[in-house]
Amino acid sequence: MCRSIKTLRPPVLPEEATEEDIRAAALQYVRKVSGFRAPAAHNREVFDRAVDTIAEATAELLAGLEVRGQPARRAG
């Protein structure tokens, strides 16, 4: 488990996660899985693409979650 990735939903995070929060979590995930803090030039494109894909999936997940009976938030 990557302990530096924080929970990005209420009630743990009192406000909605920002795009910056989501991107930071995605970056930490890719770093953990790949084993690279900063990839070499020949791995940069795939590394950055993975961060983008995970950030998008995370935003979609957070937008669709229902928290304690509250209606799902819709990304807009």
pTM (two decimals): 0.79
* Separation CA 59–CA 1 (nearest Å): 20
- Indicate the average pLDDT of the chain: 85
Identify the residue with better confidence: 16 or 4. Answer: 16
Quote the tokens at residue 1.
């488990």
Quote the tokens at residue 2.
């990557």
Classify residue 75 by burial, with Cβ atoms within 10 Å: 0-12, 13-18, 19+: exposed
pLDDT digits (tens, 9 = 90+) for 8-34: 887 777 778 899 999 999 999 999 999
Instruction: Identify the weakest region by mean pLDDT among 5-9, 27-31, 39-43.
Output: 5-9
